[in-house]
Amino acid sequence: MKKAIALAVLVTGVLAAAATAGVSALSGSVTADGSSTVGPYAIAAAEGFQKKNPQAHVTVGISGTGGGFERFCRNEIDLSNASRPMKNSEAILCRDAAVKWVAFTVANDGISIVVNKQNTWVDCLTTAELKTIWNTGSKVKSWNDIRSSFPDVPLKLFGPGTDSGTFDFFTEKINGKAKASRSDYLATEDDNVIVQGVEGERGALGYFGFSYYEENAARLKLVKVDSGAGCIAPSVATVQKSTYKPLARPLFIYAKRTSFKRPVVAGFIGYIFNNEKAIAKKSGYIALTDRQLRKARYQYLQALKSNNT
């Protein structure tokens, strides 16, 4: 028990130092790229970090999870924002380039299914119906093809591109295999394009991260998902309690170990964990559970220790 208390005190002290370090202690640049889902969270964290450390500069790109990992494994960036874990093929690229990394869970997400505001006929879709819509070779063209009680309104689909971690996660959970999807939909790495597309088409349907729905709730209609336990909508409570199945997931930031040795990079990650709930609230994300945050802080401490070995 004493050891656990001492560790908690040490972690708290390290994180507090990282979050409140003076201008002279934390200066320089941090480069990040990757997930469009994680992007707004990272940007919110960067804004807060830079206010406390005016000589530090954090740039956040949005090229999709896959695009971020490509740049990360080419030694082009310090941090890779990801809406799914790194794949074995990506880990091999990093290994071959001598890029070592540490992964941090920074927030939670519930992939949101959205339709046009004028859609009055659907409030909930089953996972089987979502598979019927999105699976490879799907011939669904009308809402009436999904359920006979739905009207004969043309179905227009919008979703993430193939470099997106959201695309990988959604297709694996709904269609049974990552990247297994019909291709005749408007695919984009910019979630704002999905918002605009769904808003502009009466028969539209799309999916993206929870924060984008929260930001655009007045423009879109959220559809509940039934995986067998009834119709459930994504929310802070349903994602943290793991009742929004199967589309709840953690979000990650991968740090290159050589970059993490730089105080400004370690300080930025420390700032995130010292302010995680505030960052999540500001950017419309679902915060880590207390258990997840304790684990993340412990991993952060272990990564700091490795810098001194």
Rounded to 5°, angle at Cα 140 from 139 and 144: 145
Output the furthest CA–CA distance in the chain (Å, rounded).
Answer: 66
Say yes or no: do domains 2-108+249-307 and 112-240 share a fold. yes
pLDDT at 189: 87
pLDDT at 88: 95
Residue with tokens 């000589």: 55
Rounded to 5°, angle at Cα 188 from 71 and 90: 30
- CA distances 300 to 117, 124, 173, 177, 289, Å, are 43, 40, 30, 32, 16
Establish how many alpha carbons lie within 13 A of residue 145's alpha carbon, considering only the half-sphere containing its beta carbon: 15
CATH number of 2-108+249-307: 3.40.190.10
pLDDT at 15: 52
Residue with tokens 């408007």: 186
How far is the C-alpha of 60 from the C-alpha of 176, rounded, in Å? Answer: 32
pLDDT at 306: 85
- Is 112-240 in CATH node 3.40.50.720? no
* pLDDT averaged per 10 residues in sequence order, the chain, 309 residues: 39 46 70 95 97 96 94 97 96 96 96 97 98 96 97 98 94 96 94 96 96 94 97 96 95 97 97 96 93 95 85
Q: Give the residue extent of every domain in the chain.
A: 2-108+249-307, 112-240
